[in-house]
Amino acid sequence: SMGDKSSKPYNERTLEEKIHSNWHKTLGLMKRGEFSTVIIRAATTVELAANLLVKHEFQHNRKLPEHFVDNLMMWANGLMGKVDRLLLPIYKNTDSENALKEVKKRSK
């Protein structure tokens, strides 16, 4: 359990906390055999992880303003949009490109 963090309202949690709690719920649903809900929850977790990667790369590494990055993420809409429109282009010809292509393949 996450202690005090789990009592924090969802919309006040950090992206890392949201990823952690969503994945924890995914594993619990899996154990209970609630597979249709598992798919949705796991997809949500993967998209949150993509958001974290976009924010880290664009805001932290590239020093782009937060409002601009948030706008890009809304434009890129969904996991595939973020992978195809933001992550693959910015990581082109880097070591991360093949890992992202694998994530894309598995996500489909």
Using the predicted structure, report yes or no on whether residue 13 has a pLDDT greater than 90.
Answer: yes
pLDDT attached to residue 36:
96
Average the pLDDT over 55-65 and give the result.
97
Using the predicted structure, report yes or no on whether residue 94 has a pLDDT greater than 90.
Answer: yes
Average the pLDDT over 41-64 and give the result.
95
Confidence band of 6 (pLDDT split at 50, 70, 90): low
**If you average pLDDT over every residue of the chain, what do you get?**
92
Residue 83 contacts residue 104 (beta carbons within 8 Å): yes
**Distance separating alpha carbons of residues 12 and 68, to the nearest angstrom:** 21
Which residues have CB under 8 Å from 50's CB, separation 6+? 79, 82, 83, 87
Give pLDDT tens digits for 71-82. 999 999 999 999
pLDDT attached to residue 108:
84
Mutual angle of helices 15-31 and 35-55, in 10-degree steps: 160
Using the predicted structure, report yes or no on whether residue 1 has a pLDDT greater than 50.
Answer: no
The CA angle 19-92-103, to the nearest 5 degrees, is 35
